[in-house]
């Protein structure tokens, strides 16, 4: 069965009511990124960081997948599909996709600050000061912050290097190493870029099919095309 690798970013969740990053002028919901999404910010004010993610999580609880997420579930009926998402929301899971790699972590999980292998589901939306892991250390959001390693990048590279087609959806391709992944796709593999801003985005390879549409419109279109050209 042919393998399709899908790289998603904040744009696929925009129509589910989750704000993208760069459309907000570098401020995330009114906060300086350096204060809420870096190890230094965490050291300086962990309570602020926890509160910031609590609010994001609270909003995320209500969010529902849109037609873009759902079209990717349909794609699985015809192809082997691997989703590599930069998003920390759980909308691909809620939609029902099977194979999902979270490059930048997951907002509905927490992690020990002394043992990164200790990862827990968060029930509801709150993670607070003095919530601790089983070894007694403070829990932090299970998110990859700026300046931190991206542990899942190697497995993502392996997947994309083996793709028969690649879909890139709703990402400004501004953040590395995620933005560099497409460079590992086989040179003869078609790449589709679905983003309302597609024509202004730079992709580090030739022959990219750019579809300048919102995810809810562009993703079902491309999925339909892939399915009808399958044989
Ligand atoms: P950005 O906010 O940088 O880019 C969002 C993209 O979504 C833009 O290219 C928009 O044109 C596009 N977009 C907006 N509305 C859309 C819609 N309805 N359908 C499809 N696309 C739409 O978000 P990312 O590229 O995901 O990292 O950002 C990458 C990383 O930067 C994030 O994962 C986050 C941030 O720093 C971490 O949290 C570590």
Domain with CATH 3.40.50.1220 in the chain: 1-18+65-104+150-231
Q: How confident is the model at residue 28 (pLDDT cuts 50, 70, 90)?
A: low
Report CA(12)–ligand 1 centroid distance (Å): 8
- Give residue 29's pLDDT: 67
- Using a pLDDT cut of 70, give the percent of the chain over it: 97
- Give residue 207's pLDDT: 83
SS (H, E, C) the chain: CCEEEEEECCHHHHCCCCCCCHHHCCEECCEEHHHHCCHHHHHHCHHHHHHHHHHHHHHHHHCCCCHHHHHHHHHCCCCEEEEEECCCCCHHHHHCCCCEEECCEEEEEEEECCCCCCEEECCCCCCCCCCECCCCCEEEEEECCCCCCCCCHHHHHHHHHCCCEEEEECCCCCCCCHHHHHHHCCCCCCEEEECCCHHHCCCCCCCEEEECCCHHHHHHHHHHHHHHCCC
Mean of the pLDDT values across residues 34-52? 96
Per residue in 175-194, pLDDT tens? 999 999 999 999 999 999 99
- Mind telling me the catalytic residues? 104
Q: How confident is the model at residue 25 (pLDDT cuts 50, 70, 90)?
A: low
The yes or no reply on domain 20-62+110-143 and CATH 2.170.150.70 is no
Instruction: State how beta strands 3-8 and 100-102 pair.
Output: unpaired
Q: Which residue owns the Cα nearest ligand 1 atom 25?
A: 171
Report CA(171)–ligand 1 centroid distance (Å): 4
For the cut 70, the answer to whether the pLDDT of residue 231 exceeds it is no
Per residue in 132-178, pLDDT tens? 999 999 999 999 999 999 999 999 999 999 999 999 999 999 999 99
Q: How confident is the model at residue 31 (pLDDT cuts 50, 70, 90)?
A: confident
- Answer with the residue of higher pLDDT: 221 or 1: 221
Is the whole model's pTM more than 0.75, yes or no?
yes
Q: What is the CATH number of domain 1-18+65-104+150-231?
A: 3.40.50.1220
Domain with CATH 3.30.1600.10 in the chain: 20-62+110-143
């Amino acid at each position: 069965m042919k393998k399709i690798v899908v790289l998603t970013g904040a744009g696929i969740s925009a129509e589910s009511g989750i704000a993208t990053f760069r459309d907000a002028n570098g401020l995330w919901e009114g906060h300086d990124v350096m204060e809420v999404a870096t190890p230094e910010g965490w050291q300086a004010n962990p309570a602020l960081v926890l509160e910031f993610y609590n609010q994001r999580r609270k909003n995320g609880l209500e969010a529902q997948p849109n037609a873009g997420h759902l079209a990717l579930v349909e794609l699985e009926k015809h192809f082997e599909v691997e989703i590599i998402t930069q998003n920390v929301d759980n909308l691909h899971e809620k939609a029902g996709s099977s194979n999902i790699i979270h490059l930048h972590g997951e907002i509905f999980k927490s992690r020990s600050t002394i043992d990164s292998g200790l990862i827990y589901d968060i029930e509801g939306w709150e993670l607070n000061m003095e919530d601790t892991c089983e070894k007694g250390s403070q829990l932090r959001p299970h998110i990859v912050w700026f300046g931190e390693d991206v542990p899942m990048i190697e497995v993502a590279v392996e997947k994309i290097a083996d793709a028969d087609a690649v879909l890139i959806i709703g990402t400004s391709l501004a953040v590395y190493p995620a933005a560099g992944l497409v460079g590992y796709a086989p040179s003869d593999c078609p790449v589709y870029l679905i983003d309302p801003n597609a024509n202004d985005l730079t992709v580090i390879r030739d022959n990219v099919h750019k579809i300048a549409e919102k995810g809810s419109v562009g993703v079902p279109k491309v999925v339909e095309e892939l399915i009808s050209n399958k044989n």
